[in-house]
Structure formats: C-alpha cells, structure tokens
Amino acid sequence: MLPPPAPGQLPVEHSQPPSGPPRRSRRRVATLLISVGVIAWLGGLGGALLGNQVADWLDDPPRRSSEQPIDVAAPRPGFENRIDVAMVTEYVAPSTVTVSADVGGGVSLGTGVVISADGEILTNAHVVEGADEVRVRLAGESEPREVTVLAADRGNDLALLRMAGDGFAPATFADPGSVRIGDDVMAIGFALGLDGEPSVTLGIVSAMNRSVGQGDLYLDGLIQTDAAISSGNSGGPLVNAAGEVVGINTAVARDTAVFTATNVGFAISVGEALPVIEALRDQADGEVRQEAFLGVGLEDRRDGGQGVIVTDVEPDTPAEEIGVAVGDLIVAVDGSVTDGSSALIAAIRDKQPGDSVTVAVVRGSESLEFDVVLTDRPE
C-alpha cells in the first residue's frame, strides 16, 4: 500500500515515471535548437566574409614606407678573383623582380630590386611614370603581385614601390667607396621583356661619375659599364663579384648623327642612390621634396674643354645675386668638375633649397669662386 499523502499534497495515482515533457515544451526546444543553428550559420557566414575582407586588406600593398634600414656592406679592399656569374646570379635572383606598368593603353616593362624584407622595391622612375597600375613578379613565381608606387623622383630617375607581405630577400648594397674602375660587374634584369628568368650580362666598371642628359632628364654620378644594358633592364641591379649592388641600371648611350656607342651603358651609382632612397621614403610619408635652383641658362662647350657656358642669368635668382654673368664658364660646383650642362643641372637638382654651394667660374683669364644659397625651383 502507498503511504497516505502528506497534508497539501495531491494523491499519487500510480508509481510509473512521467512519460515526458508536454508537447508545447518539445516545440520550444525544437524552436530553440533551430534558432541556435541559424545564428551559428549566420555567424559563420559573417566570419567568413569578414575574414575575406581582412585578407583583402592584408593583400592590399602598403602605402607607407618601410622602417627597415638598407643593407649596406662593409668597405672592401678589392676582389682577387673574377666574377662567378652562376653563383652571383643565384644569389641576386631572389632580390630581382620584373616590373610591368600599365601606361596609356600600353605596358612599360622594367626591373626592380627588393630593398627591404617587408616588400620595398627600387626601380627607375621612367619605368612607372604615368602608370595606372603597377605589378611585379618575383623569381620563381608565375603570378604577378600588385604594388603601390610610394614615391618617385624623376630628376634622379628612381622610384620606390611596395608590395604586401614579409620575408622577402633584400639586396645588399656595396659600400660606395668600394667601387673602382676595372671591377667586374654584372647587369641582371628582364631584358626586352623576354619570358622566363632574368638575363645576365658581364662587363667591367668602365668609368665613374659620368653625366647624361636626355630630354629634360639630367643625371650625374653615373657608373659607365660595358655590360650590355637593354630595354627592360631599366631599374635592375648592377652587381659586383660579391653580389652587392653597385648601381641601378638606367640608360644606354644614344646614337646621333655624330656619335655612335658600343657597349656604353650607365647605372645610377650606389653613392647617388642611397640618399635618394631615404628622400623617397620621406616623400612617401608625406614630406614634399623641393628641387634647388640657381637661375642660369647653359650651353655646352664645343671645343672639347671642360665646363659649361652661361648664356642667361634670370632676374631675382641666386645666380644674379652673386654676380654670375653671361659668358662665364662654370667649371665646378662644390669642388666637383662640371663636364657639361647635364652635370651642372643634376648637381644643383640634387641639392635642397637653402643649401649653400660654392660655384667655381672662369671669366676671361680670371678664376672666381662664389658662395651661393640656392632657392626653390620655380614651377
């Protein structure tokens, strides 16, 4: 017999356990489970979309310069052995990229040098000038990567690019004082845009501190080399026997009705390139670079002598203030000989407004020196 119910308790009619929750409770549980599933699915979908968006952001090339220092080798006394082309090619290839830029409905092709592990690349400004989109392709890869043009210095024909990612192989630059006439050098780049791996050509440092003027482009401090430099090599490295970058290939001598050139190419020397890289980084981070200005018209000498002839002195310019006159022969700036108008223009453009320079002038039989403070180049 069952014990009598306690006071206030309903009597128990049988001893079997309850058969389960009521039907309404089951519906609530089912609804709850479905809701949780939908929320989880929506959360997963949202997470996937957000993940893809973040991945797109991470793949977008940075628009700020790298903070990593440029790798510059210690000074070298020289090289005892000739350059080992295969070994140097293998060493430099991971730091060399092909550059393709969409310009005015066509494609401009060149080469670049990786200069930081987080994706900075140095190339020629004329390769990417006016480009709508720029891509690079690394050695051993089949697909191009998008890059941002961080900054460009047309006057020095150098530009700074950056791709997304990290862990790249930056090139090592030679100590500027270690580059000598007669050194073996090798040019590496994507000559003529040929398919496959980059082309290499071998030569020597033929001369130092050359100046070149083409159109309105004036470069000085150039390395002359007989290593063949072709279209597509522009922006690529000229390296020594240790695989160190001694220059950035930029131009070949042009044929004219008077002059012809054989194996005469030019590279922007490491001594010129290193300070420009730092200036480009500053420019990428918002600092506007102003070119310096002297205020003279120039004409090259035709008698084979050194120096450049002053044909005009603009009013209210540093040249007028110090007393430079038409007919003067400017022979040096800060002790560096000016072999022609290209060298003088490039030397002044390399300076900053406010810099003081010493200009050496020959006036008739008299040698003069003027200390002048340069101003901003007018638009």
Distances (CA, A) of 267 to 14, 186, 332: 103, 11, 22
- Of the listed ranges 28-42, 134-148, 170-184, the least confidently predicted one is 28-42
Please identify which residue in the block is written with the tokens 């022969």.
329
Q: Using 50, 70 and 90 to split pLDDT, how confident is the model at 232? A: confident
Give the model confidence (pLDDT) of 70-113 as tens digits. 999 999 888 878 899 999 999 999 999 999 999 888 888 999 99
Please give the pLDDT value at position 4: 53
More confident position, 342 or 123: 123
Q: Using 50, 70 and 90 to split pLDDT, how confident is the model at 344? A: confident
List of E strands, 180-295: 184-189, 199-214, 217-225, 237-239, 245-252, 265-269, 292-293
Please give the pLDDT value at position 20: 46
- Does the structure show a pLDDT above 70 at 371? yes
Q: Using 50, 70 and 90 to split pLDDT, how confident is the model at 34? A: low
Q: Using 50, 70 and 90 to split pLDDT, how confident is the model at 51? A: very low
Give the model confidence (pLDDT) of 269-313 as tens digits. 999 999 999 999 998 887 666 778 898 998 888 887 888 899 999
Mean pLDDT of the chain, nearest integer: 82
Gap between the Cα atoms of 234 and 190, Å rounded? 9
Is the pTM of the predicted complex or chain greater than 0.85? no
Please give the pLDDT value at position 137: 93
Q: What is the set of active-site residues?
A: 126, 157, 234
- Does the structure show a pLDDT above 60 at 6? no
List of E strands, 154-215: 158-163, 184-189, 199-214
Gap between the Cα atoms of 174 and 168, Å rounded? 19
For the chain, what is the radius of gyration of the CA atoms? 34
- Does the structure show a pLDDT above 90 at 202? yes
Question: 196, 195, 194, 221: which is closest to 210 by C-alpha?
Answer: 221
What is the DSSP track for 346-366? Answer: HHHHTS-TT-EEEEEEEETTE
Please give the pLDDT value at position 304: 79
Q: Using 50, 70 and 90 to split pLDDT, how confident is the model at 264? A: confident
What number of other Cβ atoms are within 10 A of residue 281's Cβ? 20
Q: Using 50, 70 and 90 to split pLDDT, how confident is the model at 10? A: very low
